Amino acid sequence: MVEVKKTNQLNRVYQDAQEIRKSVFVKEQGIDETLEFDGTDGDATHYVAYDQHRPVATARATVTGEGVHIQRVATLKMYRHKGFAKQLLEAILNDPKYKGETNFYLGAQETAKGLYETLGFKQYGDPFMEVGIKHVNMKKSVRN
């Protein structure tokens, strides 16, 4: 089982989240850093998955009027397809912080759609382009 830690901002866990996002989104996928770090990190809870104390995957979540919005899901390249992102997302879905929330939603890069489907997310609406990458909207309804 991977270790998952969460934080709001301004500590080592958040710094680890930033480094993973820079590596995956900015360096690997070529997303402009000002778009990736859009000024809304302070509103979110940041999650980082660790493998033997090494940060390997991250995501952030924010409660909105529509439910829990999951964003910025990223796994370092050498750790992909090993279950880290899935365990991280399961930790978010089961976080007591979201007790009473019945809807989780996200905009998934189309290449990651299958991962979210394994967790019960369903696509809705048409695919769209964001930062030059094809995405699909997905949601999961849960009962508490």
Residue range 11-33, pLDDT digits in tens: 889 999 999 999 999 999 999 99
Q: How far apart are CA 109 and CA 29, in angstroms?
A: 11
For position 3, what pLDDT does the model report?
75
Report whether 123 contacts 138 (CB < 8 A): yes
Report whether 17 contacts 76 (CB < 8 A): no
pLDDT (tens, 9 = 90+) of the chain, 144 residues, equals 577 877 665 588 999 999 999 999 999 999 999 999 989 998 999 999 999 999 999 999 999 999 999 999 999 999 999 999 999 999 999 999 999 999 999 999 999 999 999 999 999 999 999 988 999 999 999 876
